[in-house]
Structure 1
Amino acid sequence: MDDRINILIAGLLLCCTACVPHADPESAWMAAVPHKANVGAANLPDTIAPVNAPFAMPRFSTLKFPDYVVTVNPENIPAGKLATGTIQAAIEDVHARGGGRVVIPQGLWKTGRIILKSHVELHLEEGSVLQFSADVRDYHPAVFTRNEGIELYSLGACIYAHGQQHIAVTGTGKLVGPGPGTVRQQTMTHDVIERVVPLDKPVDQRVYEGDGGGTIFPPAMISPIGCRQVYIEGITLEQSAFWNVVPIYCNDVVIRGITVNSVGIPRGDGIDVESSQNVLIEYCTLNAGDDCIAIKAGRGIDGQRVNRPSENVVVRHCLMHQGHGGVTVGSETAGMVRNLYVHDCVFEGAGIGIRFKTRRPRGGGGESLYYERIRMNVEQTALRWDMLGSALHVGELASDTPLPVTPLTPRFSDITVRHVIVESAADFMKVDGIPESPLTGVSITACRVASDRFVRLKHAVDIQLSGIHFAGKDSTVNLYSCRNIGIERVVTGSMMRPAVVSTGNSDGIRIK
C-alpha cells in the first residue's frame, strides 16, 4: 500500500509542479507582510489601535493615573544603602493618597525588590537605570510566585505585585538584573523543578528563601501575580536572572514598546504569559537567551490543580531577533493555551519561528491558535511542533512508543497559519507528535518558503497544506504514522522530483 501511495503522490505532486501557475510575487497578501523596519519598539505609536482578532477581545487603552507625583530624591537615600526603602516609601505614599506616579529620575539607582501597589505608575525617565541587587537577602521575605509553572514561595520578581489593580511600569529608562552574587549562585539548576519541589506539600510549605546558602528560584524582572489592569510600556530590560516580563494569573494586560536584551542568559525568556487572560503584546523588540515570547499555563499536576488557561492573547507588530523561538506555546500548558493570535511580526535571527512544545507529564496543550502575516529569517525551523521533548528532562516519557492516554497527556489542535514569508530556514515544517496524542487539525495556506527542506510530519492527523510556494534543496514531504493529510497547489522552485515518503501505516493522503 505504501509503495502505491508513494508512486501516486510523487506523480501527482510533479504534475502540480508543472501545471500550477506561480503566485504573483506582488500579490496583496505578500505586500501586507511587514519588514523589520516596520515593527518593534522603534515604531511604537502613541495610541493603542483596536484589536481585530478571530475571537472576542476587549478594547485596550493607555492607563490614566491621578496627577499626584512623587519624584524619588537621591538625597533621601542613606549613605552606603540601597534605594529600595526610598523607592518603596514613595510607592506607599502614592498608593495611600489614591494613586499617581512615582518618578525615577536620571541616574543609577541600586535597589532590591520593589513592590508595586494599586493605582501606582512607576515611571523611569530617560537615563534612569534601576540596577537590581545580586544579594538574595535583598529579596526577603520570600513571596508567593510561580516558577516554571509550579507555585511556591521564593524571591518573586525584581518588580513584584500581588493582587493589585491598575498598575504600570513606563518610561524610557532601563532595568538591569542582578550581577554576580548569591542570587545566581544559589539558583536551582541541577534538576527539573518538579523533582525538586515537593508537590504533595501545601504551597505555603514550599519555601525557598535562600537562608544559609540554600536553593532559591530566581526572580523575574517584572512579574505581577493575580493583578488586573497591568500596563508596561517603553522600558528596556537587560541582564535578567530568569524570565523578563511575566504576568501570572492576570487579566487585562498591555505590554508595548519594550526592549529586552538577555542573550546568553539561560532561561532568559523575553515575555512569558502565564495563565492570564486578555493580553496585548505589541511593538516589542526582543533579543532573548531563550524564547522571545512564550505562552504558558502551568506545569503537570500542579498546573492542573490550579487549572487556569492562558487565553485571549494577541501579539502584533513585534520584532524578534535572537532567541530559541520567536513565539512559543509551552512547554508548560497544563491549564491549556487557547485563543492566541500572532500577526504582523518579523522573526529576524531566532532559532525557530513559530514553536510549539509539550511534554507527556505536563498535561494541557493548545487549541484555537492563529498566525498570519509573519516574515521569518530563522536558523532552524519555521514551524516546529516538539511534543515529546528529550530524555534529559522527561526520561522514558520522551520515547516514541505509544502509551496509555492519561490526564497528563497533552494535545495540540485547531491551528491556522497563513500568509507567512520564510526568507531563510533549514526546514519549513517539522512535527514530532505524541503517538497516542498526535498533532491534529492544522491548516497552512498561502506561504512563500525558502528553506533547505520542505516538510516532515510524524504522528499527525488532519493536516492541510495549500498554496505553498517552496524554493529549496529538498522538496520531499516525509510522512510517518500520519492520517488524513491534504496537499494542494504546492509549487516548487527546484528541478528536483517532488516525492512523498509514506511509512508507519500512513493513510488518507490526498493530493490535488
Structure 2
Amino acid sequence: MKTIWMGLMALLCAACASTSLQERLDKSLPTYDEVGAAVMPDVIAPVQSPFFEYDFKRPTFPERIDSLSPGEDVIQEGIDQLASAGGGTLVLTEGDYLSGRIELKSNINLHLQEGAVITFKSEIVDFLPVVYTRNEGIELYSLGACIYANDAVNIAITGKGKLVGPGEGSIREQTMTHDVIENIVHSDTPIEERIYDGKTTAFIFPPAMIAPINCKQVFIEGLTLERSAFWNVVPTFCEDVIVRGVQVYSKGIPRGDGIDIESSKNVLVEYCSLYTGDDCIAIKAGRGYDGLRAAKPSENIVVRYCLAGEGHGGITLGSETAGMIKNLYVHDCAFDGTDVGIRFKTRRPRGGGGQHIAFENIRMNIGKSALRWDMLGSSQHVGAQASRDFAVEVNALTPKFSDVTINNVLIETARECIHVEGIPESRLENVTISNMYATGKRYLAINDAENFVIQNSEIHCEDCAIDSVHVAGLVEENVTIIQE
C-alpha cells in the first residue's frame, strides 16, 4: 500500500509541475497575434540585450519633401534631384510605379504612401550596369538589388506601400542555379573581375529586393514585399540598422528568404511578419575563404516581436557564417507553421560559426524540428563532407558553434523536439536549454556535442529515447519526460 501511495503522489506532483510550467509559459509568452507587423507601435522601445548596449533611434532627414506621381522610371530621377539638394524625403503617392534598379543616396527617405506600388522590371538590362554586391556570402559584381545603396549614410525606406519583384523574364531565366556559388566564383579571383552581367557569362546572380551594402544608419519600416527574385531584406557590411514592421510574402519562391543580416553590426529587427519560400530570418557572415578574407562578423543583433508564419526556418543562423555570428539576442517571437523553429546551419567547407547567442520567450508550432543543429549539410551541396564518417582535419574552414542559451520555450507541436547533428572534429559546445515545455513525436537525437544541458523542462513525446553519438556532458536536470 505504501508503494502505491508514493507512486500516486509522484504522479500527482508530476502533473502539478506539468500544469504550472505549461500554464506559466502559455500566459507569459506572446501569442501569434501579439507579434508581427500588425501590432507594431510607433515608438522604438529601448533594447535590453545580455551582450551589448546600443540606443536605436528613428532617423531624421532634411526638411525638404518632394512628391512623385505614378509612372515609369521616375523614382531614380527624383532621388538624384533630392540628393543634389542635400537630401530629404521623397514621397511616392498612391498608384503604380514601374522601375528598374533604384539606388538610394545619403540623407534620403524613400516613403511609399499606402497604395503606392513599385513593380520592378523583369529584364537584366534594367539592372545594368552591374554593381558591387554580395550573393550568398561571396562578393561579386552583378544585378545587386531592386533597391540598392553603397557607402550611403542615413537612408530609409518607409511607408505602407508595396514592392513587387521581377516577374517572368531574363532575370529569372538566366539566374545561376546549376551549382553552388563557391564552385562558380573562385576565391582567388579578384573581386573586380567577378562580373556576372548575362553577357560576360550566360548567367547572372539575381537582385535581392532591398540590399544596402557598406551603409550606416539604415532604416526600413512598414513595407510589404512580394514576388522576390532572391532574398528580400539584406543589409550587408552595414552598421546601425533597424528593420521593423515589414511584411514579406515569398511562399513558393526558392531562396525567398525574408530578412538576412549579412556581416552587419548593431542591428534591430522587430515586429516583422514573414511568410517565405525559405528562411524567415537568417543571420549570416560570409562564405568559405571569401568570408574569411572579409572577416566581418554579424554582431550585436536583437530580433524581437516577430512572427514567422511560413518558411524553412523561423530563425536560422547560417549556413554562411565564415566571419562569425556574435552577440545575438532573439526574444518574444512566435513561429507558426515553419518547418524548423530555431536552426543552426554550418557546413565544413564554409567556415565560421557563432558564439554568445541567446533565445528567450519563444512560442512555436513546427512541422519538423523545433530546435535543430544542422552542421554537416547534404551531399548535394558539400559532397562527402556531409557524412560524419568522412574524416576531416581541423582547418581554417572548420566551423564551430558554442555558448548558446535557450530559455522559456513553448513547443506546442513538432515532429522532433531537439535534433543535433554536430561536426565530429568540432563538436557543438556549451548549450543550455531551460524552462522548455515541448510536445513532439521524438524527444532528442544528438551527435557530436559537448556540455549540452537541459534543465527545468518537460517533454511529452511518443519516442522518448535519447539517440546519441560522440557526446560528452549531456545533462538532464529536473527534466520530466512523459511518453504519450
TM range, normalised to the smaller chain? over 0.9
Q: Which has the larger displacement, 29-38 or 131-140?
A: 29-38
Q: Does 1:45 align with 2:41?
A: yes
Q: Distance in 2 between matches of 1:52 and 1:133?
A: 41
What is the aligned partner in structure 2 of residue 442 from structure 1?
Answer: 431
Q: Distance in 2 between matches of 1:315 and 1:378?
A: 19
Q: Does 1:478 align with 2:467?
A: yes
Report the CA distance shift for 1:394/1:18 in structure 2 as closer, same or farther (over 3 A): farther
What is the aligned partner in structure 1 of residue 5 from structure 2?
Answer: none
What is the aligned partner in structure 1 of residue 139 from structure 2?
Answer: 151
Identity %: 51
CA contact (8 A) 2:128 2:143 kept: yes
Q: Distance in 2 between matches of 1:92 and 1:251?
A: 24
What is the aligned partner in structure 2 of residue 66 from structure 1?
Answer: 62
Q: Does 1:463 align with 2:452?
A: yes
What is the aligned partner in structure 2 of residue 503 from structure 1?
Answer: none
Q: Does 1:287 align with 2:275?
A: yes
Q: CA deviation at 1:61?
A: 1.5
CA contact (8 A) 1:134 1:180 kept: yes
**Secondary structure of residue in 1 paired with 2:167:** coil
**Secondary structure of residue in 2 paired with 1:63:** coil
What is the aligned partner in structure 2 of residue 487 from structure 1?
Answer: 476
Number of residue pairs the alignment of both structures matches: 473
Specify the code of the residue in structure 2 equivalent to 1:261. Answer: Y
Higher relative contact order (CA 8 A, sep 6+): 1
Q: CA deviation at 1:269?
A: 0.1
**Secondary structure of residue in 1 paired with 2:350:** coil
What is the aligned partner in structure 2 of residue 452 from structure 1?
Answer: 441
Report the CA distance shift for 1:334/1:16 in structure 2 as closer, same or farther (over 3 A): farther
Q: CA deviation at 1:492?
A: 2.4
Q: CA deviation at 1:480?
A: 1.2
Q: Distance in 2 between matches of 1:96 and 1:249?
A: 25
Specify the code of the residue in structure 1 equivalent to 2:400. Answer: R
Q: Which has the larger displacement, 158-167 or 473-482?
A: 473-482
Quick one: which of 88, 103, 125 aligns to 2:91?
A: 103
CA contact (8 A) 1:16 1:489 kept: no
What is the aligned partner in structure 2 of residue 9 from structure 1?
Answer: none
**Secondary structure of residue in 2 paired with 1:447:** strand
Report the CA distance shift for 1:482/1:32 in structure 2 as closer, same or farther (over 3 A): same
Superposition CA RMSD, Å: 1.5
1:48-447, aligned counterparts within 5 Å?
48-74=44-70, 83-84=72-73, 86-211=74-199, 214-401=202-389, 402-447=391-436
Q: CA deviation at 1:429?
A: 0.3
Give the TM-score taking structure 2 as reference length.
Answer: 0.95
Q: Distance in 2 between matches of 1:454 and 1:354?
A: 15
- Deviations along 1:400-437, one digit per CA (max 9) or x if unpaired, are 12321001000110000010000000010000111101
CA contact (8 A) 1:16 1:490 kept: no
> Could you list the runs of 5+ residues in structure 1 that have no partner in the other structure?
1-14, 78-82, 496-512
Q: Distance in 1 between matches of 2:21 and 2:145?
A: 47
CA contact (8 A) 1:295 1:310 kept: yes
Q: CA deviation at 1:478?
A: 1.7
Q: Distance in 2 between matches of 1:128 and 1:224?
A: 22
Q: CA deviation at 1:491?
A: 1.2
Q: Does 1:22 align with 2:17?
A: yes
Q: CA deviation at 1:199?
A: 2.0
**Secondary structure of residue in 1 paired with 2:322:** coil
- Deviations along 1:104-143, one digit per CA (max 9) or x if unpaired, are 1111111000000000000011111100000000000000
Q: Distance in 2 between matches of 1:198 and 1:148?
A: 13
Q: Distance in 1 between matches of 2:368 and 2:23?
A: 27
Specify the code of the residue in structure 2 equivalent to 1:232. Answer: I
Q: Distance in 1 between matches of 2:431 and 2:201?
A: 49
